[in-house]
Structure 1
Amino acid sequence: MSVLTLGRPSVDASLILGGMPRVRLLPREVGEGQKTRALRRRLLAGLVVIVVMAILATVGATFALFAANAQLANEQSRSALLAASRAKYGDVTKLQSEVDQIVTSQPLADAGEILWAPYVQEIQSSLPAGTTITALTAATATATSVTASLMPTHIADVKITADSPQQPISDWLDNLAKVKGFVAAIPGSVTRVEDTGHYTVEVDLLVNSDALSERFAPVKAAKK
């Protein structure tokens, strides 16, 4: 007697090689279209990124240009202000320059200067009692004139004529040796004045650089 068995037919397990079988029912063109659209989306996204970057770069360059122009305008404004200031204070600058030149030239102008008024007073203070100066001339000496005259080195020659109550003038010569800048006192002629009984005496006073005024000489710092 035959027995019928209902159900799924038995399948040989050795024939099952993988998972469930799949079947693509859509046409091949549909799959390729999907790939094409995905590629287009990626290209479009890349294009958008490039455009955004270009816009940002353009904006940055524009701002940099504006900043450079603003800085240039600021520098031009400062230059114009400085030029106006120089023009405004040009006279002051010129005056200061002239003052500096005067200050620089003062020691040169003063190099051979002797203040004769106070120097003559110093000579008068050396006169003995009763003696007065009747004539006085002063002249600067040059190296050539000093060499030619065979006199001691000096920068000025003061010729003094005086009226003395006595013939000897040794006391006066001793006093002249104390005068500032003294080099030598050379006595000249001695003449008796018959009307007064006095004597007209002549003395040649040689003076060195110690007699210079040095009004504009630099002030030396005090030693500590």
Structure 2
Amino acid sequence: MSDTNLDQLVEPSPKPARAKRGLEIRRTPEFVAGGLPTVSLLPRELKAAARSRSIQRAFAAGVVVAVILAGGATAGAMAIASAAQSRLDASNAASQQLLSQLSRFQDVQMLQQSIRLGEAAVMVGSSTEIDWQAQIDAVEALMPSGWTVTSIQGDSASPVLDYSQGTSPLDVPSVASVQMAITTSDISSVGPWLRKLRGIPAYGDATASVISDDTTGYTIQLTLHLTPKALVNAGKAAK
């Protein structure tokens, strides 16, 4: 016996496949579209009432929200008004305190006012005051030796009356004038002396007339017009 036959004897031959009988049925999942139809049996009046209640509930909710918002706005406005009133009260209290403190110094304020009025009166009263001594000293310092002053007169403005000015356009504005009578035995130096008088700070203009006298020699009548520099308060007025 050959090897092939031995193998066939040892290993059984495979069984033939069985033929399937009948039809093959495949199961697929069922799908129903739409479900079961439903029908509302409620009357139309009940449906309308239900919708009306829904609308009423929505309206009531809106009213509640509006009331809440209005209440919040009112509370905020009241808070702002209260804060403003508090600030106003504090300001009024501070003003009252300041007025109370100022009333304590009323006497001092009245004294200060009196002092200011007095100073103003002094300024007005001295606004036309002339430093006569300084002007006379300046004239005498320029006189030649041997001259003697026999009389002096002054004329000036007052706080209520201006000093009369000259009518010539060439006249220098003046605030006062001084008249001096001077005796001398020699009048040859009158001209040079008049020119020297121009160096006086308050010099406006000067005129002199000579009168002959057999007893004393000559009498010189000097009229010297003074500018505002002759005022006592000339320095303060310049400032």
Question: TM-score, with normalisation over the residues of structure 2?
Answer: 0.58
The Cα shift of 1:200 comes to 5.7
* CA distance in structure 1 between the partners assigned to 2:63 and 2:204 by the alignment: 105
Unaligned stretches of 5+ residues in structure 2:
1-31, 157-162
Structure with higher Rg: it is 2
Check 1:114–1:170 CA distance in 2 against 1; reply closer, same or farther (3 A cut).
Answer: farther
Q: % of aligned pairs identical?
A: 22
Check 1:106–1:168 CA distance in 2 against 1; reply closer, same or farther (3 A cut).
Answer: same
Correspondence for 1:52: 68
Aligned residue among 209, 214, 231 for 1:187? 209
Q: Contact 1:177–1:184 (CA<8 Å) still a contact in 2?
A: no
Correspondence for 2:222: 204
Q: Contact 1:107–1:217 (CA<8 Å) still a contact in 2?
A: no
Give secondary structure in 1 for the equivalent of 2:87.
helix
Question: TM-score, with normalisation over the residues of structure 1?
Answer: 0.61
Q: CA RMSD in A?
A: 4.2
Q: How does 1:1-224 map to 2 (within 5 A)?
A: 19-23=35-39, 38-39=54-55, 41-81=57-97, 83-84=99-100, 87=103, 92=109, 95=112, 99=116, 106=123, 110=127, 112-140=128-156, 142-143=164-165, 146=166, 153=171, 155=174, 156-164=176-184, 167-179=185-197, 180=200, 181-193=203-215, 199=217, 201-209=219-227, 212-213=230-231, 214-219=234-239
Equivalent pairs, count: 191
Unaligned stretches of 5+ residues in structure 1:
1-15, 220-224
Check 1:65–1:159 CA distance in 2 against 1; reply closer, same or farther (3 A cut).
Answer: closer
Q: Contact 1:114–1:211 (CA<8 Å) still a contact in 2?
A: no
